[in-house]
Structure formats: C-alpha cells, structure tokens
Amino acid sequence: MEVPPETFVEWDWTGHGGQHNVVALDGTFDSGRTNAQKGTSYEYLFLPEETGVYRFVSEPHRDEGMKGAVIVKEPPTTGIEEVDEWVQLSNTFDGTITDKTNTDTTTITTGAEGNRGTFAFDPVVLKISSGTTVQWEWAEDSGPHTVAFEDIDVRTDEVYTEAGVHLEYTFEEKGIYRYACEPHESLGGRGAIIVE
C-alpha cells in the first residue's frame, strides 16, 4: 500500500484465521496484544517526517507469510493543486506536464496501459495553447471507455470499444479542464488539460 504523509492507515479484523496483531518490524507501530474478534481495528497516522517503507507482520502468523508493507511518500506534483488533486489516483501520474503548446492538433491515448490494466490516459496532464484541437484516440484492444469533462459540457456520446478517434474538441478559453473515463474513474482513469 502506498500513501502520502499525514494519512491514517487502518487495519480491520475480519474474525477469520484466529489471533492477529499488527507490528511494524522497525517498531514504528504496534497494535498490542493479539485479538481474534471481528470488528477490531487499529489505526496509525503517518506524520509528515515519516516517509519511507514500513514492513509489518501479524506475529502469530508471520512464518505463514502474513506480512505487508506501507510505503509513505510524497505524491508527485505538477505544482498546480487543482490538477494534482484530480489526477493523483492515476498510477501513471508522475508529476509530468506534457507540453504541446504552439501546436494546432494533439492526441491523447484513451485506454493506455496503467491503473492495473488499460485504464489510463496518455499523457495524464497536457498543456496546450488556446485554439488547439485535442483528439482522444482509443488504443487497440483497450476495452470500453468514455471521456467526460467535469468543467465543461463535453463528453463522448457513448461507451466506445473499437480503436480510433472518438472525441475531438478545440479549446478556446484559458483554464484547467478535468476529465475522466466514467467506467474507470475510480481506478484512476482521469486526465487534465491546462490551456494557456
């Protein structure tokens, strides 16, 4: 599991598998004595200075492989909070802004590899000049996708599965435009366009 600093991580007991606890190998956190009761939980707040990898085990089942890790790291950033908050769910977002200013037309791949399948946009964040036309081109064998904007009334008419360009839009106004693939938004299928 990967989380940013200042995140509460909660472990919940299911009531299955006998006695459990949660203990960090480096001693950072420890849920205490073992418990088998369903509904029991333990949570830990990772502070801003606690970036790093925290390996943990359930002591009674450590030798059986009941181990895990929490990776605490600063999320990537473009430096634009509105963009970062929108696209941070995408595991292909690395903070990069693809600059296509001063071009007449550019393309975003819909159904690119990412988010545990072909559920990403490529590029995730695009910067263009006003007057630029953006085309969304579906990748081969990428499954069903849509494009729907949050900030303007622009969207695909239906869910498309076949490869090809299924949406084209010319951006005339400066601003930040956020969009998503509705079937895969919760998986990280989001993108943003910055118009200068």
Domain boundaries, the chain: 2-72, 81-195
> How far apart, in whole angstroms, are the C-alpha atoms of residue 99 and residue 53?
33
Residue 30: pLDDT band with limits 50, 70, 90: very high
Average pLDDT of the chain? Answer: 96
> How far apart, in whole angstroms, are the C-alpha atoms of residue 58 and residue 66?
6
What are residue 23's DSSP bridge partners? 30, 57
Which class for 183: exposed (0-12), middle (13-18), buried (19 or more C-beta within 10 A)?
A: middle
CA dihedral 87, 75, 122, 136 (to 10 degrees): 10
Closest CA to 149 of 84, 88, 86, 79: 86
Residue 75: pLDDT band with limits 50, 70, 90: confident
Is residue 145's pLDDT more than 90? yes
User: What number is the average pLDDT over the span 28-39?
Assistant: 94
CATH homologous superfamily of 2-72: Cupredoxins -  blue copper proteins (2.60.40.420)
Options 3.40.50.150, 2.60.40.420, 1.10.10.60, 1.25.40.340; CATH of 81-195: 2.60.40.420
Residue 62 is given by DSSP the state G
Judge if 2-72 and 81-195 fold alike in CATH terms.
Answer: yes
On whether the CB atoms of residues 131 and 169 are closer than 8 A, the answer is no
Closest CA to 62 of 22, 27, 26: 22
Residue 4: pLDDT band with limits 50, 70, 90: confident
User: What number is the average pLDDT over the span 85-98?
Assistant: 94
Residue type at 73?
K
> How far apart, in whole angstroms, are the C-alpha atoms of residue 191 and residue 54?
31
Sign of CA dihedral 73, 77, 81, 83: negative
